[in-house]
Each structure stands twice: as structure tokens, then as C-alpha cells.
Structure 1
């Protein structure tokens, strides 16, 4: 900030002041800022720049290169949040007193004022940048610090695009041929989620990167309420014995199935016994899927006060598979 490098041309020297990202909580004391905020630390840093510049020869032109989020600039999805003290941005007035400010942090090429600009990134870093051309600024400062700016477009090795439609439409319609060589974010509008959608899409669009769905539905057209309507938590009679699927989990088969205790080592034996007793039987009104879900939710092998919130141990996973196999047989 106080020892800038210089470049010289036919008009004299140009001083370049580099201001990296200044983490307010780490540098505010060192810079003598009033408080740990972006505005305070950048203001303090620019005070040092202006003090140094005032001691230079009168014909010295000045450029500040700063990493900052200036109020009024357009953002995209790929920039890191730099909120500090509740405010992520600073006013453009912080940078008064210099001839040009070349900003970094935001990825869109844009102009804040005649003398304050973002060049942006040469490549897109998120699909929110797909419709914004990548460019950079070429700046000329004459002997009087008058400024001429030209925007120069950057080469695009592969375009970013977003496609929306049904899987069948995207795979078959010829109008999508122009997208086959693009980086793609694809949104499917199918009512039900197609099987292996991304794999099938990449057969035509090998550079597809992101897949979204406009409908948050399962392939089952029935609602959960309609699927369980009329069913109870009871699987019926197993050769005259009652085996209950309750919210307390499989450990509570205990009364009727002697192997089912509260110890984890008993559970595989209990399930094997259930499979043996239920072989070849069907129980009207019973949802074995419901039984599997209850077991898989972490209720098995634990009393109610020790349920494991969806995380299954190796024994529990084994029980889950065994019980699912039982469900397949009945």
C-alpha cells in the first residue's frame, strides 16, 4: 500500500496499488480502522494509498487493484459470500482520489462508474453466468489521466447453456443439436422422474453437468395417504400369533417371538424366525413396506429413548435386508 510498483510510458510514471481481500476481523487493528467492517478497513487502506500518492511527483498517475464487493454491482451464484458485520459491500466513494480502480471478486464484467470497473472472470464459474458474455477492459490513461476504455470479449472454449424439457423431447428433437457440445444444466419437466435420466442424457449431451427436476414427485402416482389407507400397524396373525409392527421397532416383537429381545445379537435370529413362521402366508391389510421402513428408521435393536435418527449399524442394516427379504416372500 505504501510501496507500489511503477510502470512508465511517454507520459510519465503510473503507480499500481494492490489491495487484496482484507478480512475485517484480522486486519482492522493493524490498519487503524474504526471497526471490523469491510467499509472501515478499505477506507483505512485507501487513506494510506492517498497519503503515499500525495508524496509522489505531480504527474504520477494511479491505479488501484482491489478485491471488494462494491455497492450496486451485479453478482452471480459462484462468488464467495464475504459478509462481515452484516454488510458485504462497500460504497464506491471509498476509492476517490485515484485515476482508475480495477476490481476483482465479482465474476461479471461490469462498470460501476467511469473510473471503477470489474473485468470479471475469463471463464464462467456457474450457470447463472451463462447469459453474460465474458470480457475484459483495456484502459488507456493519457498524460492528464483522461480515460479511454474498450471492452474486449474473451474466447469461449465451451459454452454454458440451460435446457428444459421432457426426457424424450430432449433426446429426440433435432432443435437441441446445437447444445450437444455445451456444458449443460438440464431441467426435466417429466411428471415422474425417469430412470437413469443423467446417464441417458449424456448419451446425447456428453457435457451435461447438472440435472434438476421441475416436479418433485415419485414414480408412484399414488399419494402416501392413499397407499397406507386402510392398513394397520399389525401384520395379522402368524399361525395364531400376533406380531406387531409399531413405532417402537422390531425389538418389541418380544411377547410372541421369543428370539426378539432388546439386544442387537437377537435381532437376526428374530427375523429368521419371522421368515420361517410366515413362509407362504399372506396377511390382508398388512404393509410389509411399512415394516421395512420402521426397521430402517433406526428403531430396531433400541428402546424408544435410544433411537438413532436414521443411522443404521452393520447389524441393523443386516436386519433391514433380512426383513426386506421376508417382505418379498409374503
Structure 2
């Protein structure tokens, strides 16, 4: 049995104001070829199919074409809803879709009816768990106070393990959650950044509601969604990440999915398959003049570009000028190379015993990244200070 584990398609998401739909269409359009080449039996999409709860009509068409291509290539489709999805809308007509090999699990109790696949070794039960919001799923276990995602998913997995043991088949779980290795003392900043907008927040505890990997003990493979980068928590618990890049922080991370092979005793291996990257991401750094002229940056002219400008004085009209060379420049950061550090002192201490000219110089040194008054500016300011002083409103400090 071979499964292709994907997640977080986020149909409808924008990238610095640009639609990602052309890139998603291209990537999803390559799935049939991957399915045929690797003889995939089922494609798993572990949550966040859409980016919004009310997707535009066009996005349903993109999803329909992707599913049609997967089915025509011979693979079953299993989809769960994520925290970005509207479960009711995504799950509409799921009962009939299942008859055609497209299984969409959006009900909170969907895991109680596993999707059963079969190969020469027998049956494989896929327990598809949609994203579970504790406040909305109180009916799953009446009388039990399961107020965090960790507590609720842990309780669901207890039931899943019992079902799997009773059925005696190989087992796969799909879940949309923020899982961390059981031995991790805390959630790393990198992991939080990786989750991006999709974080599950435990507001009562004031932090991220994480789920330890031990929650998925006893299952042959856990196909997770929610984190947008590839991750192997354990050999049998993995994130596939998103099929395209949604932020520059993901620029160095590959895009693709896991091909999960199940043998007679369970998981045999999981190998990575790369998806195409229609438009790569580049994070460039230098002065505006360097970025516009240096040959080393030529290879990025067709990429999405994030430019960090190191000019000491912020260039005028930087974005327009950058887009003359990099038409897909999407974001600019400013980081002057010679910014003078401001001493940790009060304003009164910083200006004590300084003339008005010196105070202005210090201010410009800060906001201009090291450039103080030039000669014409200095002469003009002297005249202004003299006139104000003569009017009796202010005098230069000694």
C-alpha cells in the first residue's frame, strides 16, 4: 500500500498581495504524474484545503480539477478539514463523494467510521480526524471536560487505539494539530514561526496548545497537517508541509509530500517526493545599487524577491526601482549597515549640555542611519535657531 501524504493546500491564500492560485494549479496538476510514477493508492490531504471559511467559487473549481486528476490517475482521495476550513461547506455532499472514491472527513466523530483500503496484505484503516475545536466538540464526550486541543485529541486517540485493536488492521491517522516531540521541553521559536497564521492557541494557558507525539502511539503512521514545512517528528509521525511557499521564512524549505509505504506488518518506509516550485523565493541583501547592478543577483530576476537594503540612507522609490530588475519583488526590509546604536539613557541625559545643533545632529544620525547635517542644512538651521532665539522663544544651550 502506497499513500501520498500532503496537507495545507490553502487554496485562496495570497502572498504579499499576490495570488498563489497559479502556482497551486501548476503543482496540483503534477499529482497525477506522481501517482502513476510511484503507483500511489491513496492521496491524503491533512487539513486546510482552503485558506478561508468562505472560499470563492473559482477555488471549488480548482479543487474539483485536482481531485478529478487524482481519481483518473487511479488513487483514492481522503481529505480532512483544518482550522482554516469551513467544515460544513467542505463536507457538503461528502456522503455521495465517498461512493466515488473521494472521502471528505469534516464531522467531529468521523474517526469512528474509518476509511478502509485494501491491498494484497489485507485491510488498512484510515482514521481521518478533522481539526477539533474543543469548545465546538463538547458533544463528542458528554460530561468530560476536555478544554484544550491536547486533551481532546488525546481522548480521541484513546478511542482510535481501541477501535484499531478491535479491528486488527494496519492503521493510519490523519490529524491537523501542532505536534512536538514528546521529550521537547518547550516549543521552539522556529516551530512557532513554521506554523505561521495557523497556530492553535490555548488562550486559557496563554500559549501554544501543543500535542506531544505520544498521543499517536500505537498507530502505524500519523499523517499530520498544520505546519507548513516538511518535518519528521518520529519515523511514523510526519508533517508534509504545504505544496507551495506561503512566506519568505519558508524559502529554504523543500515543497513536496511523503510517499508512505505500508507492508504486511505496518510502516515499511516513508520517502520524500519533491513537487515543482513554479516561482522560487530569494532573500537578497545589499545596497539598492548593488542589487540593481551586481551580476550575482541575475539568477533571481524571475523569483519572488525579499530585498533587505543596507543603504545608510533609505533610498527613494526603492520598490519601483527594484521591480525594474526583479518584477516579482514582493517585500523590502531596511537594515542600514552603519546604524549607530543609541545609548541606553533617558532623553534628558542624552541632550544635557548639548546645543540645539548637536541635538538635531544626533536625531538625524539616528533616523538617517549615520548621516548628519550637511553644510547647507547646517547653515539654514543656524539661521532658524538664531531667529527663534532672538524672538525670545528659545536659546541655544551653553
TM-score by length of 1: 0.65
Question: 1:17: how far off?
Answer: 1.0
- Does the alignment pair 1:167 with 2:277? no
State the secondary structure of the residue aligned to 1:94.
helix
Structure 2 vs 1, CA of residues 143 and 218 (structure 1 numbering), >3 Å: closer, same or farther? same
Q: Which residue of 2 aligns with 1:44?
A: 155
Tell me if 1:217 matches 2:367.
yes
How far did 1:174 drift? 1.2
- Asked if 2 retains the 8 angstrom alpha-carbon contact of 1:101 and 1:115, the reply is yes
**How far does the alpha carbon of each residue in 1:207-231 deviate from its partner, in whole angstroms, 9 at most, with x for none?**
10001100373489448xx998884
Q: Is the contact made by 2:244 and 2:277 (CA closer than 8 Å) also made in structure 1?
A: yes
Larger CA Rg, structure 1 vs 2: 1
Provide the residue aligned with 2:216 in structure 1.
95
**Residue equivalent to 2:124:** 14
- Report the alpha carbon displacement of residue 137 of structure 1 after superposing the two structures with TM: 0.7
| Range moving further from structure 2, 145-154 or 38-47 | 145-154
- SS of residue in 2 equivalent to 1:199: helix
Q: In structure 2, what is the equivalent of residue 66 of structure 1? A: 175
Aligned-pair CA distance for 1:199: 0.1
The residue that corresponds to 1:25 in the other structure is: 135
1:121 equivalent to 2:271? Answer no
Alignment of 1:1-330 (within 5 A): 1-28=111-138, 30-31=140-141, 33-56=144-167, 58=168, 60-72=169-181, 75=191, 76=194, 78-84=196-202, 85=205, 86-215=207-336, 217-218=367-368, 221-222=371-372, 231=385
TM-score, normalisation: structure 2 = 0.54
SS of residue matched to 1:31:
coil
In the aligned structure 1, how far is the partner of 2:173 from the partner of 2:387? 71
Q: Distance in 1 between matches of 2:141 and 2:304?
A: 44
Change (3 A) 1:102 1:228: farther
> What is the distance in 2 between the residues matched to 1:34 and 1:232?
74
Does the Cα contact within 8 Å between 1:138 and 1:149 map onto a contact in 2?
yes
Contact 1:71 1:89 in 2 (8 A): yes
Ranges in structure 2 where 5+ consecutive residues have no aligned partner: 1-110, 182-186, 337-365
Tell me the distance in 1 between the aligned counterparts of 2:386 and 2:231. 63
- The verdict on how the C-alpha distance between 1:45 and 1:165 changes in structure 2, with shifts beyond 3 A counting, is same
